[in-house]
Chain A
Amino acid sequence: MCLAVPMRVIEVRGDMGVAELWGVRREVGLHLLEDVEVGDYVLVHAGFAIEKVDPGEAERTLEMLSEIAGA
Chain B
Amino acid sequence: MIGVPAARPSNRYIDAFRDGRVARRLADAIWELVGKGRFSFMEVCGTHTVSAFRSGLRSMLPDGLELRSGPGCPVCVTPNSYLDRAIALGRKGMTLATFGDMFRVPGSSSSLLKERAMGAKVHVVYSPLDALRLAEDSDGTVVFLAVGFETTAPAVAATVLEARSRNLHKVKFLVAHKLIPPAMRCLLEDPDVRIDGFMCPGHVSVVIGSEPYRPLARDYGVPCVITGFEPLDMLQGIYLLARQKAEGMAEVQIAYRRVVRPDGNTKARELMEEVFRVVDDEWRGLGPVPESGLRLREEFGEWDAETIPVEVEPAVEPSGCRCGDVLRGTCSPPECALFGRACTPEHPVGACMVSSEGACAAWYRYGR
A residues with a Cβ closer than 8 A to B are: 1-6, 8, 21-23, 29, 31-34, 41, 43, 45-48, 50-55, 57-58, 60-62, 65-66, 68-71
Contacts and interface: CB of A to CB of B under 8 A. Distances in A.
Contacts of A69: 21-22, 25-26, 29
11 contacts: A1-B357, A2-B203, A8-B11, A31-B158, A34-B267, A46-B128, A48-B127, A51-B206, A51-B265, A53-B13, A61-B257
A50 B268 contact: yes
A11 B129 CA distance: 18
B204 interface: yes
A61 B236 contact: yes
Given A43-B206, A54-B258, 11 more contacts: A1-B74, A1-B149, A2-B201, A4-B206, A6-B14, A22-B9, A23-B6, A31-B271, A33-B265, A50-B203, A68-B236
B12 interface: yes
> How extensive is the interface on chain B, given as a class?
35 or more
Name the prevailing secondary structure of the B interface residues.
helix
B267 A45 contact: no
B25 A45 contact: no
Given A23-B9, A32-B155, A71-B25, A2 B45 contact: yes
Nearest to A26: B126
Contacts of A21: 11
Contacts of A32: 154-155, 158, 265, 267-268, 271
A58 B12 contact: yes
Most buried by B among A8, A32, A62, A70: A32
B72 A2 contact: yes
B312 interface: no
B8 interface: yes
Given A1-B357, A22-B11, A70-B25, A50 B151 contact: yes
A47 B130 contact: yes
B158 A48 contact: yes
B129 A47 contact: yes
Interface in B143-188: 147-149, 151-152, 154-155, 158-159, 161-162
Contacts of A62: 16-17
A34 B265 CA distance: 10
A32 B259 CA distance: 14
A46 B9 contact: no
B355 A48 contact: no
B127 A47 contact: yes
Contacts of B161: 31
Contact of B257 (A6, A57, A66): A57
B262 to A, nearest CB: 12
Contacts of A66: 22
B22 A46 contact: no
